[in-house]
Amino acid sequence: MDKKRTTCYFFSNFTPKVLIQNLNMKTSMNTIRIVVLLCMVVFGVSGHASMPIIDPSLRSEMNKRGDDEKIKVNILMTEQSDFVRLEKEAGFFGAKRERRDYVVATLKQQAEASQAELLNQLKAMEMVGMVEDIRPLWIVNSISCLANKQAINDLANRGDIMTIYYVDRVPMISEYELIPAPKGSSREITPNLLQVKAPEVWEQGYTGQGVLIALIDTGVRLDHADLEGRLWDGGPEYPHHGYDFAYHNDNPFDALGHGTHVAGILCGTGVSGTQTGIAPGATIMVLKVFHDDNTCEETDYIAAMQFAVEHGADVLNMSLGRPLPNEAQKLMSRKACENTLAAGLVAGVSAGNVRQIQYLIPIPNNITLPAQCPPPYLHEDQMVNPGGRSCVISVGALNDDNTIAGFSSEGPSQWTDVPDFDDYPYASDSTNEIGLIRPDLCAPGVQIKSLDYNSPTGYAFLDGTSMATPLVTGTIALMLSKNKELTPEIIDEVLECTAVKLSEHKSNDFGSGLLDAWAAVQAIDYDAVNDQQQEMLVYPNPSIGDFTVTCQGLKEINVFSLDGKLVQHLETTNDTEQILGLKAGIYVLQIMKENTVSYHKILKIK
C-alpha cells in the first residue's frame, strides 16, 4: 500500500456496391426524442479498484531517485468518458463535422470540470518547487508533469485519481538505415504503388484532394520539392505546417528521416523524378513526437492525436509503436483511440517490426502499441471472441511477392490485463479465446522508395511496417476524396473486405490480406452530401454561445424545441444570420430557402 502523508502548500455487414445509402437520412422527431431521452447522461465512471494509485513502474523509479529529483509522470483521472455512450450521442449528429465538434466539446467540458481541483493543487506545488511542466489533456482525462517523490505521494492521497504512472521515453521505431535511391526518369511510379493499384484510382480522378492527413512521426523536411503545396496551412499560429510535441515548439523539422520518408509515401508528388505518394492531392499536418535520439513517449503521441482531432484532420497516420507496454500505458492509449473513433476519425497504425525477436517479445505481445488496440469494424472471423472497438487499423508489411515480411509483427493481442476493458482473452490452445486478430491488413513494406530528408530533391529506400502503413492511410484519403462523409466503420470494412485474400481467414500474419486501393474506392457508391447542405453551414455546433447560419438565398429560420414548440422565428434577406440567446439543450432548425426546406440539429452546451 502507498504510505499516506500530508503537506501544506502556499497556494454490418459489407456488400460491395451497396454501401453509403443512409449517411444523410433525416431523423424523425420521434427518433430524436428517443435518442435524447436515452442519452441524457454524457459521462460514465468505471471502477478502477484493481489499479494501484502509484503504478509499480513509477514506484520502482521513485526508489532510484533522490528526494528532490523530478520524475515525468502521467496522472490518469478516475472519471473517464464512457466510449459506448459517447459514440451513441455523437451519432445523433448527421454530419462528421458536427460529430467531431460534439465529442471535442464534451471531452473538454469533462476535463475542465474534473481536473480543476487537481490543477490548483499542482500549481500550488509548482510554486514551492515540487512539480513543473504541467500539461493537461482532454482526449484522455489526464495531466502529465514533472514531480518529486513527495508530490507523487501527496497526490496519491486524492480520491479522484485512477493511477499515476512513470512516463519513460523509449524507441518507438525500429533501428533503420536510409539507403540513398536514384532519381527516376519520366516520373516513374514506385512498385509499391503499382502493387496496390493506386494509378487506377488516380485515373478516376481521386487523388486525396480535400483530405487532411495528420502525420504523427519524427517530423518532415518541409522544403522537400515533392511536398510543395502538400503541407497544411496552420495560419500565423502554426506557420511551419504543424507542431513539435517533443520539444514544444511550432517547427516540426525532421532530424531522423523517418517522417519525411512516410510523408513521401502519403503524398509525394514526384516533381523530382519519382512518384512516391499514393494520395498526391492530399495535405499533411506535420506533428512531430520524437526526440532527435529516436525516442518517444506516449503522452506526446496522444497529445498529437488530440491536436489532430481538434484542428480538423480527416485521418491519422501513426507509423510508430511501443513494445511491451504496461497496463497504464495500454489504458491511456486505448482511451485515446476510443475517443478519436467517437469523434469520427480513423488511424492507420504500424503493427511493429519485431516478428523475429519473439524470444524477447512473445505473442500475444508481439504487436506494438497502439496497434494492439482494436479496429473500428470487427471482421466476422473475430466474432468468435468479440470485444470493444477503437480508431486503429493495424497494418503489417509484405514483400513484393505478397509473402509476409520477415520483420512484420505477428498477432494476436489481448486485453485481459487491463481491467477497464478485460476483453479479447487469448489462450494459445483455444479455438474461442483467440485474442484480437492483428494486423487488419497488409501492404508492401520492403525496399520502399520515398523521400530522403538529406536532400530537398532526394529519394531513399527504407523497410518496415512504417512504410506499409501510409499506403493504407493514403488509400483512406482516396476514399474520402470520393466521399468525405464515410465513417471509420465503413472505411475499415471496405478496406478489409476488398483486400486480396492471402489466407483462408483473417489471420495474425496477413490480416484480411493485401490492400487493394482500386477495389476499395470502386466499392464506394458515390453519395455526396446534398448540394443544398454543401452550401449551407450552421456553426459552431455544438456551441457554448450563439450559432451562425450561412446559406445563399436564406429566407426564414425557425428554431424548435424537441417537444415541437417554436422557440425563435427569423425572416431575413441576408445570406448570414445569427441565432442568439438559446438556453442549454438540443434544438431543431428549420431553414427555408426559395422552394426548399432543410432541417439541422443543434446543441447548446451552456
E strands, 355-466, are 392-398, 441-444, 448-451, 459-462
How far apart CA 402 and CA 514 sit, in angstroms, is 7
Return the amino acid letter for 151. A
How far apart CA 343 and CA 116 sit, in angstroms, is 24
Q: What's the pLDDT at 21?
A: 31
Tell me: do 456 and 321 sit in the same domain: yes
Q: 329 — alpha (psi -120 to 50), left (phi > 0) or beta?
A: alpha
**Full domain range(s) for residue 301:** 171-522
Question: Helix (H, G, I), strand (E, B), or coil: what is residue 473?
Answer: helix
Q: What's the pLDDT at 12?
A: 31
CA distance from start to end of the chain: 42
Q: Which residues contact 208 (CB under 8 A, 6 or more apart)?
A: 267, 278, 279, 280, 281, 282, 474, 477, 478, 480, 481
How far apart CA 317 and CA 165 sit, in angstroms, is 26
Tell me: do 328 and 371 sit in the same domain: yes
* Contact criterion met (CB below 8 Å) for 414 and 436: yes
Q: What are phi and psi of 303, to 5 degrees?
A: -60, -35
Return the amino acid letter for 178. L
Domain assignment of residue 40, yes or no: yes
Tell the residue number behind the cell numbers 485515446, with chain if given.
336
Q: Which residues pair with 135 in a beta bridge?
A: 144
Choose among 57, 278, 292: nearest CA to 173.
292
Tell me whether the omega of the peptide bond preceding residue 488 falls within 30 degrees of 0, making it cis.
no
Tell me: do 502 and 544 sit in the same domain: no
Choose among 582, 528, 574, 580: nearest CA to 551.
574
Q: Measured on CA atoms in the order 587, 592, 595, 601, is the torsion positive or negative?
A: negative
Tell me: do 162 and 187 sit in the same domain: no
How far apart CA 470 and CA 349 sit, in angstroms, is 9
Domain assignment of residue 3, yes or no: no
Return the amino acid letter for 477. A
Q: What's the pLDDT at 606?
A: 73
Q: What's the pLDDT at 22?
A: 32
Domain assignment of residue 426, yes or no: yes
Q: What's the pLDDT at 133?
A: 97
Cut 0.95: pTM above it: no
Provide block-wise average pLDDT over 10 residues at a time, the chain (606 residues). 37 31 34 34 42 94 96 98 94 87 96 98 98 98 98 97 97 89 83 96 94 98 96 97 98 97 97 95 98 96 98 98 96 98 98 96 97 98 98 98 98 96 96 97 98 97 98 98 95 98 98 98 70 62 86 86 80 90 86 73 81
How far apart CA 569 and CA 362 sit, in angstroms, is 65
How far apart CA 120 and CA 137 sit, in angstroms, is 15
Tell me: do 39 and 89 sit in the same domain: yes
Choose among 394, 370, 392, 238: nearest CA to 300.
370
Residue after which a domain boundary falls, among 117, 134, 168: 168
Query: How many structural domains compose the chain?
Result: 3
Choose among 349, 225, 229: nearest CA to 275.
225
How far apart CA 227 and CA 267 sit, in angstroms, is 7
Domain assignment of residue 17, yes or no: no
Domain assignment of residue 155, yes or no: yes
> Which domain CATH number covers 256?
3.40.50.200
Which H or E run includes 537? strand 536-539
* Contact criterion met (CB below 8 Å) for 605 and 108: no
How far apart CA 602 and CA 557 sit, in angstroms, is 13
How far apart CA 264 and CA 448 sit, in angstroms, is 11
Residue after which a domain boundary falls, among 168, 200, 231: 168
